[in-house]
A and B are shown apart, each in its own frame.
Chain A
């Protein structure tokens, strides 16, 4: 999805624009954390492994040749960083009690050591995530048909503006405008949910 953007941002990052790399991080961080969460399972470790993944990707950026999509490349780095972390944890069990218990999965559920719930799984976090999903869904339902169709064709079906223009039989500028207006309408509903002062975020 939107690989052109990735190519452009990667090129800029390669020329020393760190913020272009940060834009890619903002884009992919949730997917990378979800991927790592499936491999590592210990939620305390997920963010650490994700951080390491992005640092490794940043360092390896000069070697990235664009033969695969940026996300495919990032995905590989994430998988290997997760594997390496698990291997390191097995060698050094002192820091790994909860992580290893998680890695053993469910075969010994009763003796699994208790560990404090981390950020990703506190009831508040789960609730907040559900609230965001519900808000996005409600906002989509409330959109006029042409805006809803445009953003779903883009975000869910992954069509380009050209393709959406063909499907919706309208000029490409209209597609661009509809998608933007749809995003803004949803964002307007989400902004009040952001739990820090608006101006101080990011």
Chain B
């Protein structure tokens, strides 16, 4: 495409070509990036489309202030939505299902929309439920360990023999699957938070012991 006729550095010209589907992928990326960062680009994008709509039908000549307000309101709602991330690899089953629902015509669209509206939330709550149990158990173990420590603090040497070395605890943490790794991260954050409360739990060496106990409890 010949850009020689256009004003130098005109991002408006790029927007104009973008809305006509006449930009290649890299140019689209640049135009989208500037749309995101530049208020005047958003304003021009709106204005160009308002012009197109008005040329096609005068009853689409809505007030820009209304459109502006609409977009602001929608943006607030979009901010609360989980970010859309469609899988890039081909999942044959999911694609077939999506194609089937897309092909069902008028009634297919809302069903599909509703399904998609629910699923991210369900995924989230399922994930939350999965963590709630081990973290809850860990909290219980921390409390019990705190009590044990305070009642047996006079026999520190005896207790020390029962603590796992830090390296053993670390290697224990790397076993199992990704969930265990994530649990490790989550639990250590939790334990660190509680360790910062003076007198609530045992000092640092017991952290390995506590983590280990938490996994044992979770496996039972």
Contacts and interface: CB of A to CB of B under 8 A. Distances in A.
Contacts of A58: 78, 81, 84
**B interface, by DSSP: helix, strand, loop or mixed?**
helix
B145 interface: no
Contacts of B60: 30-31, 34
B66 A80 contact: no
B61 A62 contact: no
A99 interface: no
A64 to B, nearest CB: 7
Q: How large is the interface on A (under 10, 10 to 19, 20 to 34, 35 or more residues)?
A: 35 or more
Contact of A183 (B51, B53, B120): B51
Contacts of B25: 8
B110 A56 contact: yes
Contacts of A76: 105-106, 108-110
A75 B20 CA distance: 20
Nearest to B81: A58
Given A18-B83, A80-B106, A23 B101 contact: no
Interface residues of B, number: 85
Given A23-B45, A129-B63, A31 B53 contact: yes
A46 B187 CA distance: 48
Q: Specify the main secondary structure of chain A where it touches its partner.
A: helix
A26 B46 contact: yes
A184 interface: yes
Which of A64, A154, A155 has the largest number of chain B CB atoms within 10 A? A155
B107 A80 contact: yes
Contacts of B106: 76, 79-80
B2 A202 contact: no
Interface of B: 1-6, 10, 12-13, 16-23, 25, 28-29, 32, 35-36, 39-40, 42-56, 58-71, 73-75, 77-78, 81, 83-88, 95, 98-99, 101-103, 105-110, 112-117, 120
